[in-house]
Amino acid sequence: MKEKLIDLFEYTYHFNKEMIKIVTENISKVDEKTISLINHTLNAQQIWNSRILGENSFEVWQINPFENLEAINHQNFKKSIQIVENSDLDQRMVYQTSKGAKFENTIFEMLFHAINHSTYHRGQINSLLKQNGVEPILTDYIFYKR
């Protein structure tokens, strides 16, 4: 199970990196929603990692300096891998959402959500890129594995 999660985080890291690159290369064509979504995608992974590790987290919709996005993506990747390698994935954790609601999930569920959430928003970003005249990139998992 851990090997599969690591593979999925490698996939997430790779295509987040590619999204940051295409947005950077086409910065004059992208809109505020695209910038917001790329930041949110990275922020959310950082937040889930922080919940698991008991660390301070970003705000859900904070806008980070664009030149920091690659470093944030890399740090997210390293932390996610650290969690996978050093945690009992079946351990249940109580956490609080950004709106103050308390929930309990396993570490696996939280990590899988972070991966799935990134995939969802990369699809939205691709749609916005296309609307703004930028050729979207193929980010499906199977393309990563080919």
* Span between the terminal Cα atoms of the chain, in Å: 21
Kindly list the structural domains of the chain, giving each domain's residue range(s) and its CATH number in brackets, ordered by start.
Answer: 2-145 (1.20.120.450)
Contact present, 107 and 93 (Cβ < 8 Å): yes
Backbone CA torsion sign across 57, 100, 13, 38: negative
Q: What is the pLDDT along the chain (146 residues), one digit of tens a residue?
A: 999 999 999 999 999 999 999 999 999 999 999 999 999 999 999 999 999 999 999 999 999 999 999 999 999 999 999 999 999 999 999 999 989 999 999 999 999 999 999 999 999 999 999 999 999 999 999 999 99
Q: In this structure, what token pair is assigned to residue 18?
A: 């590619």
pTM of the model: 0.95
